[in-house]
Structure 1
Amino acid sequence: MASLGDIGVSALINIVTAFAFLLAFALLRIQPINDRVYFPKWYIIGARTSPTHTANFVTKFVNLNFKTYLNFLDWMPQTMRMKEPELIEHAGLDSAAFLRIYVLGLRIFGPAAVVAFLVLIPVNVSGGVLFFLSKDLVISDIDKLSISNVQPKSPKFFAHILVMYLFTFWACYMLYKEYDVIASMRLNFLASKSRRAEQFTVLVRNVPHVPDSSVSDTVKCFFKKNHSTHYLCHQVYKSSLISSWPRPSTMRTNMQRAVRKRQKMQNYLDYNQLKFERHPNKRPTRKTGFLGLWGQKVDSIEYYQQRIKELDEKLTTEHQKILKDPKRIMSAAFVSFNSRWGAAVCAQTQQSKNPILWLTEWAPEPRDVYWKNLAIPFVSLSIRKLVISLAVFALVFFYIIPIAFVQSLANLEGLEKVVPFLRPVIEWSFVKSFLQGFLPGLALKIFLWLLPGILMTMSKIEGHVAFSVLERSTAAKYYFFMLVNVFLGSIVTGTAIQQLNSFLHQSPTQIPRTIGVSIPMKATFFITYIMVDGWAGMAGEILRLKPLIMFHLKNMVIVKTARDRQKAMNPKSIDFPEAIPSLQLYFLMGAVYAVVTPILLPFILIFFAFAYFVYRHQIINVYNQRYESAAAFWPHVHHRIVASLLISQLLLLGLLSTKKAANSTPLLAVLPILTVTFHKFCKNRFEPAFRKYPLEEAVEKDAQDEASEPETDMKSYLCEAYLHPVLRSIEEFELSELGLGVDKNRAHFSSQLEKEQENKGSPKMQHLEVVVGQHESAYTHHHKASAQNVDVTDH
């Protein structure tokens, strides 16, 4: 069991590590050579240009303005200058709502820490029971500040119950206020946006087979009959283009391989044209053999232009094969309407008397579509979910083994009693402090590193068709894992190892009491975990060491053109599947230990404040979100924080039952009932705003658009809004695969498309294009026309 000295050693290690990371970040971020690593968001939106175009060669790489080094900590106040409305416009509502989770944590646990320190710490310290327990029970100084130090049957437990009631009521009040604010922000966000494709489009699945009729004709006839006033157009998809389970089709693979090869040839062409522009007296040449090492010497520009032309012809041929094969059409379509009201009615009502046919749901945002899963037969989804649920259950219990190993590191004194020969190895005080105060949290972090990728794969197998849903499903699995293994598993395995000798030599009636006493004793382990994950981990997040190294390696080896440099930035987006469950674990730890061991709360508060600064900086300057769901994840956040309150109440109820507090414990039984009632009230009050779109809002927004832009040509945009990335232009496909695509839905349909064409040479657009050597592909024009003729049907 870690002592105060061990916690001090861990705190010192993590504080020094975090300070070193922050100092390195503050210095690296002001170097011109690192500008695209620490400010990629501004390059993507076109608001920042490369600082390397200077007359002085040295200043391309190193900042020689020494005044900036005196103000290297300016990033912290700069992070706070952007107000929330500007942040929402800049990064989206998802990012703003994510930041509000950290603020919510500060608002809940800040007052709770004050009350706990003023009321519970004096009560716990005055108990003195741990001084008289058996020497076989391993305790530390921190345990003497917990509820374990209070005498059984003591009237002092009324103070803990009172604080639990106050904490629960305060947390519920803050949760209600925050849910209300987020729901209002979501509706305002949806109402304030210009026309977006997903507001007018519905995903239709399980289209029935009609003899002598194609899927496209069946969809057209059904919606012209049942939604004749508002139906506009639709797009059906080819299974070979999207996916063929369990492996991709040969046709789709060939097409994607040809697209990527064309990207590579285009890049070489751009590079050689840049070389020729710099040295117009010398045409670049290459050899036609393997890797250009031997063979006939030819003009490089003409060579790559010819290769691109051949690939365009191949892509056109492959595309036509897919479009002309009726057997490859899948029973799903994106159906677009001419009004939000028409789309809302279709998405939120049953379309057929057979409830398993013509299944409709709101279409994801075009950037949010996970195309591979559109081809999965709908009837197999239930079986997939059952299989994955069993797999997740098995994985959770498989991970108990490494968790138990981690807990053995955290309880070396208890392990010494079982395995005495380890004692000489860990007797040195610094080694013991390091092993108990730092290593357990680090080891647990390492074991958790691989888990999100495994869970994401499982969620993809389940068949979800949107990245946002995939990430929410992965987050749910990860939270369940964190709850069972990281939290409850740490308590149970830690107790089993640490108290093994005591269990074997005491009366069975004493075992529940020993477990009850041991639950608050695990606070020391969670404190070390918070410092490793929440302090040093957050500092590592803002340093971006891996992206920094990878960017410069790519610059040295791969980058030749502006497109290469754009790809090398790779800003990614907020890792919701890992970040949100980890946040919810902190809420769980805070809720459980707020009354049991309040000394843990300051460590959590430091984490919430520090992480808020870090993520605010990253959202403003780094992350480029793959999609925008308008805070659709908030109900999941709310539900799991309420679940944390319930778990904390039940654990305290069990703990007090081992303390023989018969007079005070029954008073706590009412609290879980009140919490569940609060949960149901919030679910009925707010959750519909995240599941459905009010018809009243739809009518009002349609009227506003009709009054302000009556001549908008919606059909021309909606008929191409949900084209598969392979069918889009080469550049759009490349950016979509990298997650660098710009949200084209932010603009009005026809007027903005025309403006983009007019401004294509402007600096704001050029950051997404290779300036030299651009030429339009014949394939790009041809495949869009073909897609409209075959796959898209107009009303």
Structure 2
Amino acid sequence: MSGITDEAGKLISDNSRTLAPAAVASQVGLMTIVSLVTILAFNFLRPKNKIIYEPKVKYHVGNKPPPRISDSVFGWLPPLVRTKEPELLDKIGLDAVAFLRFNRLMRWLFTSIAALVCAVLIPINIVYNLKNVPAKKRDVLSMLTIRDVAGEILYVHVGVSYCITFMIIWFVHIHWKEMVRLRHTWFRSPEYLESFYARTLTVLRVPKKNQTDEGIKAIFDTVKVPYPTTSVHIGRRVGKLPELIEYHNTTVREFEAVLVTYLKGGKLGRKRPTIRIGGTCGMGGVKKDAIEFYTAKLQRTEAAIEEYRRQIDTRKAENYGFASMAAVPYAHIVAKMLRNKHPKGTKIQLAPNPKDIIWENMNKSEGELARKKIIGFVWLAGVCFFNTVPLFIISILANLESVCLNATKFFGKKSHFTLAPSLRSLS
């Protein structure tokens, strides 16, 4: 019985260490074709669907339109290459530039590592395999790896590993310095210095008895900050106000689409646009003038929003608030002073840009936020796990012929085993 186990273990070991080069080549070819088709489809669709691929050209913020892109097939390449970080910092902000800087770090890091390994280790592995490994025990892929390499030549691999480590440290150091420079540039920019949120502090987990404007001011008085607050506001339950604002924005976009069609080319259309209300699949319902319909809809929505805003001070207080300082440096100094302090159980920090705040999370406890983070992590882990299933199946199929051939030889020697017809047919 032990002999059977040893032979089966050897069979599994031999096949688990061998991946058919043809399968890898076919996979590389397939991925290359998919990539080329994706690039060609993007180049073909982009000029004809600018509202999808270039929405910020029309819906940019203030006087910050993105660089113009020509309608040629590769018209997106010049702005991609020529637009530098100072312009990006002004147009898209620090967070987006930090993300692009991180991508640049990864690109240069992996490119450098690949160049080093391909120039040094792969030639050494190939030469060693050709000289020391029998032809029957190697293939095109195994010759590129360290699998069969042994002896003092492994010191070269150790040395390259140290080089890669120092390379990572150097790249991270360089890009870290650049990020510090970008942060200094951003915090000194007129846009940041003139913004209201830059001199505002967020106060979280406000206790019940301090959930008033005066209560927040009292919290700052207890810690004796060097700069007084210029205004304080406790958060209030806004009810359906966010939904109304989103409804208003959606209506504006729909109205714009109607007007773009009606005023196409700078000329009025022959007929005023219409819209069918209450119909299904273009049947039934009531047909109305689209311009009058959306105008009335916007007026009603704006009136409802204004009514909500007038009543905001009468609504129930939340457990968070905001305190503004006279200048941006004052807010930064106070935030640094209170970084590890929690006056009356609160958490005080610099306020982010209002458009970056997830308002539904503002009044949640630490436990609720931790639960949401765990759920998000579980979802991410699930996606990563199930993403490996197709790759696992492909790897099995790539070696199926080899496994079946060796299994047939192995089990064929054992009189007390009977192979399934399907397994015999594969051999």
TM-score by length of 1: 0.41
Q: Rate the CA distance shift 1:21–1:162 in 2: closer, same or farther, 3 A.
A: same
Q: Distance in 2 between matches of 1:411 and 1:87?
A: 46
Q: Distance in 1 between matches of 2:92 and 2:390?
A: 41
Q: Distance in 2 between matches of 1:104 and 1:254?
A: 42
Q: Which residue of 2 aligns with 1:323?
A: 313
**Pairs within 5 Å for 1:68-107:** 72-107=73-108
Match of 1:170 among 164, 167, 173: 167
Instruction: Point out where structure 1 has 5 or more consecutive residues left out of the alignment.
Output: 52-67, 242-251, 428-795
Q: Which residue of 2 aligns with 1:39?
A: 54
Secondary structure at the aligned position of 1:364 is classed as: coil
Q: Distance in 1 between matches of 2:23 and 2:250?
A: 55
CA apart distance, 1:110: 4.2
**Is 2:234 the counterpart of 1:219?**
no
Q: Distance in 2 between matches of 1:190 and 1:120?
A: 45
CA apart distance, 1:167: 1.7
For residues 514-540 of structure 1, give each alpha carbon's deviation from its aligned partner in whole angstroms, at most 9, with x where no partner exists.
Answer: xxxxxxxxxxxxxxxxxxxxxxxxxxx
Q: Which residue of 1 aligns with 2:120?
A: 119
Secondary structure at the aligned position of 2:352 is classed as: coil
Q: Distance in 2 between matches of 1:163 and 1:273?
A: 60
CA apart distance, 1:221: 3.7
Q: Which residue of 2 aligns with 1:407?
A: 392
Q: Distance in 2 between matches of 1:200 and 1:385?
A: 29
Q: Distance in 2 between matches of 1:300 and 1:401?
A: 47
**Is 2:227 the counterpart of 1:236?**
no
Contact 1:230 1:339 in 2 (8 A): no
What is the RMSD computed on CA atoms of the aligned residues?
Answer: 4.6
Secondary structure at the aligned position of 1:411 is classed as: helix
Supply the AA of the counterpart residue of 1:218. Answer: G
Q: Which residue of 2 aligns with 1:18?
A: 35
Q: Distance in 2 between matches of 1:308 and 1:165?
A: 64
**Is 2:363 the counterpart of 1:375?**
yes
Contact 2:251 2:294 in 1 (8 A): no
Q: Rate the CA distance shift 1:235–1:309 in 2: closer, same or farther, 3 A.
A: same
CA apart distance, 1:339: 1.4
**Is 2:322 the counterpart of 1:334?**
yes
Q: Which residue of 1 aligns with 2:4?
A: none
For residues 223-250 of structure 1, give each alpha carbon's deviation from its aligned partner in whole angstroms, at most 9, with x where no partner exists.
Answer: 46744843111232223x2xxxxxxxxx
Q: Distance in 2 between matches of 1:76 and 1:330?
A: 49
For residues 96-134 of structure 1, give each alpha carbon's deviation from its aligned partner in whole angstroms, at most 9, with x where no partner exists.
Answer: 33333344345434444444334322432344466499x
Match of 1:179 among 176, 183, 194: 176
For residues 489-519 of structure 1, give each alpha carbon's deviation from its aligned partner in whole angstroms, at most 9, with x where no partner exists.
Answer: xxxxxxxxxxxxxxxxxxxxxxxxxxxxxxx
Q: Rate the CA distance shift 1:330–1:412 in 2: closer, same or farther, 3 A.
A: same
Q: Rate the CA distance shift 1:339–1:424 in 2: closer, same or farther, 3 A.
A: farther
Tell me which of the two structures has the higher relative contact order, counting C-alpha pairs closer than 8 angstroms and 6 or more residues apart. Answer: 1
CA apart distance, 1:363: 0.8
Supply the AA of the counterpart residue of 2:350. Answer: W
CA apart distance, 1:321: 5.2
Contact 1:285 1:300 in 2 (8 A): yes
Q: Distance in 2 between matches of 1:164 and 1:357?
A: 48
Contact 2:197 2:353 in 1 (8 A): yes
CA apart distance, 1:322: 4.9
**Pairs within 5 Å for 1:202-601:** 202-210=201-209, 215-223=212-220, 226-227=224-225, 229-239=227-237, 241=238, 252-253=239-240, 256=243, 260=247, 264=251, 271=258, 278=268, 290=278, 310-319=300-309, 322-325=312-315, 328-350=316-338, 357-376=345-364, 378=365, 381-382=366-367, 384-385=369-370, 388-389=373-374, 392=377, 396=381, 400=385, 403-404=388-389, 406-412=391-397, 414-415=399-400, 417=403
Secondary structure at the aligned position of 1:148 is classed as: coil
CA apart distance, 1:80: 1.3
CA apart distance, 1:370: 0.8
In our comparison, the structure showing a higher alpha carbon Rg is 2
Q: Distance in 2 between matches of 1:144 and 1:293?
A: 71
Secondary structure at the aligned position of 1:375 is classed as: coil
Contact 1:203 1:363 in 2 (8 A): yes
For residues 669-703 of structure 1, give each alpha carbon's deviation from its aligned partner in whole angstroms, at most 9, with x where no partner exists.
Answer: xxxxxxxxxxxxxxxxxxxxxxxxxxxxxxxxxxx
CA apart distance, 1:201: 0.8
CA apart distance, 1:199: 2.0
Q: Rate the CA distance shift 1:163–1:424 in 2: closer, same or farther, 3 A.
A: same
Secondary structure at the aligned position of 1:361 is classed as: strand
Q: Distance in 1 between matches of 2:115 and 2:341?
A: 59
CA apart distance, 1:331: 1.9
Aligned residue pairs total 380
CA apart distance, 1:23: 3.2
Q: Distance in 2 between matches of 1:47 and 1:387?
A: 35
Q: Distance in 2 between matches of 1:72 and 1:394?
A: 38
